[in-house]
Amino acid sequence: MMLRTGMLVAALGLSGALLAGCGDDGSDAETEEATQNGESSSQASEGQTSAGDTNGEGGQQTASAEPVSLIFGTGGTGGTYYPIGGALKGVFEASDLVDDVQVVSTGASVQNINNITDGLNQIAIVMSDVAYDAVNGENQFDGQPADIQALAGLYPNVVQIVATEDSGIESIADLEGKRVGVGKVGSGVEQSAAKVIESADLSYDDLAQVSHTGYADSVTSMSNGNLDAAFFTSGVPNSSITGLMQSTDITFVPVSGDVADKLLEAYPYYETYTLPAGAPERYDLGEEVDTVAIRNMLIVSGDMRDDVAEELTQRFHDYLNSENVSVGALKQFDPDTMNQNLVAPVHPGAQAFYDSLSSEDGDADDTSDEASSEDADDAQS
C-alpha cells in the first residue's frame, strides 16, 4: 500500500509523579545491544530492604509482613520501559505492603534479569524472548537458568517492516537482493530481523546489503535512497516510522502465512499481531497489516513474598482499568490479557490474583444464568 501522510504524533505527557517521559519509539529493544556488550547502568546499591522473604523460603509470606522496598529495573531513559516504571512507582507505593519504589535506568532485558538474579532489582520489565532464554538457560544464559517469575504480560513489541514504495517490496521474500536495515548488532531489533528472514528461507547472504543501523539512521538512509527497507521492533506507533511517513512513500511489509507459521513454531514467545486500518493513532493505514510481536513482561524474583506479588499484580490490573494511565503503550494494552502468553512461571502470588478474577467471572456467570432462568420461569407462568 502507498502511504504518504502529514501525520503528527503527539508527545506523551507525564505528570510530575512520573520520571522522564518518552514516546513509543522502541528504544528498549535497541538498548539490548548495550546490555549484551556489558555497558553499565544507573543502578542502586544492594543496601535496601528487598521484597524477598527473610526466612529464605522462596515465595513464602513472612510472619511480620513488613513493608518492602523495591528497586525497579527498566531501560534507557529514552525508551518506553523507563516512564512505565515511573508511572507504576506511585501505583505500587500506594500499597501498605510497599515502603518505597526506586526506579532505575538499566540496559533493559538482559541486565534486568541478571540484576534480579543478583538481588540488585526486585522487579523489572523485560522482553519475552530474553525471559524465555533466561528461564530455559539458553543463548546468553546458556547453562545458567534464571530464577525469575512473571507478574504480568505487558504491551507487545511489534515487528514493523517498512519499505520504500519504489523498491517493489511487498513480502519478506521480496527482501532478497535488497538493501535492508536490520538494527544494531545484538539488539532486540536485529534478533527479530534475523529470525523473520530465516523463517522466509533466506539469510543475510541473500540480501544485497545488510545495514546494522538504529532507527534514526535507518530512516535517514531510506529517505536518502540508500536503503530499501528496515526493521523496527517497538510499540505502535513508532515515532521514527511516523517521521519517515511525512517525507517518503512507504509500504508496510506483512509477516504472515508460512513465514509467520514457521516463526511461531520455532520461537514460542512470538504472537500474531495486526496493525489496524483507519486508526489515526496507529499510522492511519488504508488496510490492515498482519505481522508478529514479542510481548513485554513484568517479572520479579522467585523469592518475592506471595502477599507482595499478589498486591502488585492487583494494583497493576486496577491501574490499567482506571482513567489514570499516562503512558501510551499501556493505554493500548488490554488488561484482560495480562496473564496470557507468559513464557516464565507465574509467581504464586500473581496466580492467586488471577484465580480470584476467574472466580469472580464464574460467580457473575452463575448470577446471570440464575437471572435468565428466573426470567424464563416468569415467562412460562
Residue range 157-294, CATH number: 3.40.190.10
**At 23, is the secondary structure helix, strand, or coil?**
coil
Query: Is pLDDT above 90 for 294?
Result: yes
- 156-168 confidence digits (pLDDT tens): 999 999 999 999 9
Query: Is pLDDT above 70 for 368?
Result: no
Query: Is pLDDT above 70 for 219?
Result: yes
Burial of residue 362 (CB within 10 Å: 0-12, 13-18, 19+) is: exposed
Spell out the alpha helix ranges (H) of the chain: 27-36, 81-93, 109-117, 128-136, 188-199, 215-223, 239-245, 257-266, 306-320, 328-331, 348-380
Supply 280's cell numbers.
489515526
Query: Is pLDDT above 60 for 192?
Result: yes
The more confident residue out of 51 and 290 is 290
The percent of residues in the chain predicted with pLDDT above 70, rounded, is 78
The pLDDT of residue 31: 60
Q: Quick one: average pLDDT of 75-95? A: 93
Query: Is pLDDT above 90 for 59?
Result: no
Average pLDDT of the chain, as a whole number: 85
Supply 95's cell numbers.
500499597
Query: Is pLDDT above 60 for 5?
Result: no
Q: Quick one: average pLDDT of 213-237? A: 95
The secondary structure of 273-299 as a DSSP string is EEEPBS-GGGTTBSS-EEEEEEEEEEE
Query: Is pLDDT above 70 for 99?
Result: yes
Nearest C-alpha neighbor of 21 from the set 69, 99, 74, 94: 74
pTM, to two decimals: 0.74
Query: Is pLDDT above 60 for 291?
Result: yes
The boundaries of every CATH 3.40.190.10 domain in the chain are: 27-58+65-154+296-358, 157-294
The more confident residue out of 76 and 95 is 95
Query: Is pLDDT above 90 for 79?
Result: no
The more confident residue out of 217 and 235 is 217
Q: Quick one: average pLDDT of 35-62? A: 46
Please name the residue that has the C-alpha cell 528487598.
50
- 330-352 confidence digits (pLDDT tens): 987 889 999 999 999 999 999 99
The pLDDT of residue 185: 87
**At 334, is the secondary structure helix, strand, or coil?**
coil
**At 74, is the secondary structure helix, strand, or coil?**
coil
Is the CB of residue 205 less than 8 Å from the CB of residue 176? no
Nearest C-alpha neighbor of 129 from the set 176, 192, 79: 192
* 92 pLDDT tier (thresholds 50, 70, 90): very high
The pLDDT of residue 374: 56
* 281 pLDDT tier (thresholds 50, 70, 90): confident
Cα dist from 56 to 71, 149, 327, 381, whole Å: 19, 16, 36, 64
The pLDDT of residue 77: 86
Query: Is pLDDT above 60 for 217?
Result: yes
The domain 27-58+65-154+296-358 having CATH identifier 3.30.930.10: the answer here is no
- 168-188 confidence digits (pLDDT tens): 999 999 999 999 999 998 788
Stated as kind and residue range, the H or E segment containing 179 is strand 179-181
